[in-house]
Amino acid sequence: MVYALKVHRDVEKQLQRVPKKQRERLVNTMRSLRDQPRPPSSEKLEDVLYRVRVGEYRIIYAVFDEEVVIVVCKVARRTEATYRDLQGLVRRANKVLAEE
């Protein structure tokens, strides 16, 4: 089963700030999540939120199994602020999902 991949509009802005080579790796990793939404390298954060590491960057995303959708909520370097507002990211993912 292949999941649909949705990207929050803020993520597009975040990706613009990433160097091109890293950006390609991040985008390829996001695309690979469609086939395997929970790769062995992923870590469950909360409810439907997961995170996967790509070098020094983190992709935080939500998996909605019933809708067969993955929503990428955030792409960021690992800092203290990266995981600060997980509930806000869950709300953001639900909002993107509702926009279908």
Q: For 65-100, how does the pLDDT look when each residue is reduced to its tens digit (9 = 90+)?
A: 999 999 999 999 988 788 888 899 999 899 988 886
**What pLDDT, on the 0 to 100 scale, is given for residue 100?**
62
**CATH number of 41's domain:** 3.30.2310.20
**Who contacts 6 (Cβ-Cβ below 8 Å, separation ≥6)?**
69, 70, 71, 72, 96, 97
Reading the block at residue 1, the tokens are 């089963």
Name the pLDDT band for 28 (thresholds 50, 70, 90). Answer: very high
**What pLDDT, on the 0 to 100 scale, is given for residue 36?**
95
Number of domains in the chain: 1
What share of residues in the chain are helix, strand, coil (percent, to 5)? Answer: 40, 30, 30
Q: For 43-61, how does the pLDDT look when each residue is reduced to its tens digit (9 = 90+)?
A: 999 889 999 999 999 999 9
d(CA 75, CA 10): 9
Q: Which run of H or of E encompasses 12? A: helix 9-16
For 60, the domain range is: 4-98
Q: Please say if the pLDDT value at position 33 is more than 70.
A: yes
